[in-house]
């Protein structure tokens, strides 16, 4: 069976694929490990976490795209006020996080203080199955979202807690805008920014 790295719009029917791909992609992510430090329960909790935010939050108010082995959630300016969890979603996330809920809350609040105020496209999440690394899945999704931001003449913003990913984003024109030390013994979070380009490709 051939594996396609051509982006397509994700729907709620893709929840299982999105959850599976992102669970694998973020298993070793420093920020996710600060939320889910227990090895025995991390996979199940990550799966619930990603399924919840995808089905209840991002698929409704963001531009969600997938390949066979990767997923990305982009939030355009007009969706940023809506793409926040409602009370029911927050409660579900707190149930998943358990005694790490306070760490999650403090992390979200710290990052929010540095969110750019000017209109931009926000890359909320992007991840590829490590087994498909080097097959262009993440790059295809990044190019697709950046093309939409460029077409709108708008910059793009993301946050990463994995230093190994910074060169990948820099290759596509992102630069580090802030380096944040997350609270509660959490990792460093790099906030990255990319100015719009003429629509000639990434």
Its CATH class, for the domain covering 8-194, is alpha beta
CA-CA distance, 79 to 75, in Å (whole number)? 6
Condensed to tens digits (0 to 9), the pLDDT of residues 57-107 reads 999 999 999 999 999 999 999 998 888 888 999 999 999 999 999 999 999
Percentage of the chain exceeding pLDDT 90? 90
Return the pLDDT at 202: 45
Return the pLDDT at 200: 53
Domain regions of the chain by residue span: 8-194
What is the SS3 assignment for 166?
A: helix
Exposed / middle / buried, residue 120 (Cβ in 10 Å: 0-12, 13-18, 19+): buried
CA-CA distance, 196 to 121, in Å (whole number)? 10
Please tell me whether the overall predicted TM-score, pTM, comes out greater than 0.85 for this model: yes
Count Cα neighbours of 137 within 13 Å in the Cβ-side half-sphere: 23
> DSSP secondary structure string, 86-146?
-HHHHHHHHHHHGGGHHHHHHHHHHHHTT--SS--EEEEEEEE-GGGTTSSHHHHHHHHHH
CA-CA distance, 32 to 48, in Å (whole number)? 13
């Amino acid at each position: 069976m051939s594996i396609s790295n051509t982006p397509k719009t994700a729907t709620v029917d893709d929840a299982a694929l999105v959850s599976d791909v992102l669970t694998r992609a973020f298993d070793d992510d420093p920020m996710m490990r600060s939320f889910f430090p227990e090895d025995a329960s991390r996979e199940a909790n990550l799966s619930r976490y990603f399924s919840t935010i995808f089905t209840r939050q991002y698929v409704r108010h963001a531009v969600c795209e997938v390949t066979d082995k990767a997923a990305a959630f982009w939030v355009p300016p007009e969706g940023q006020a809506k793409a926040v969890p409602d009370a029911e979603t927050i409660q579900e996330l707190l149930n998943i996080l358990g005694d790490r809920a306070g760490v999650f809350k403090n992390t979200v609040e710290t990052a929010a203080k540095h969110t750019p105020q000017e209109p931009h496209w926000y890359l909320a999440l992007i991840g590829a199955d490590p087994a498909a690394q080097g097959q262009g899945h993440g790059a295809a999704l990044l190019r697709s979202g950046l093309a939409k931001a460029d077409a709108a003449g708008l910059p793009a913003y993301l946050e990463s807690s994995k230093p190994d990913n910074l060169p990948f984003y820099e290759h596509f024109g992102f630069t580090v805008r802030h380096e944040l030390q997350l609270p509660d013994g959490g990792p460093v979070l790099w906030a990255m920014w990319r100015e719009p380009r003429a629509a000639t490709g990434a």
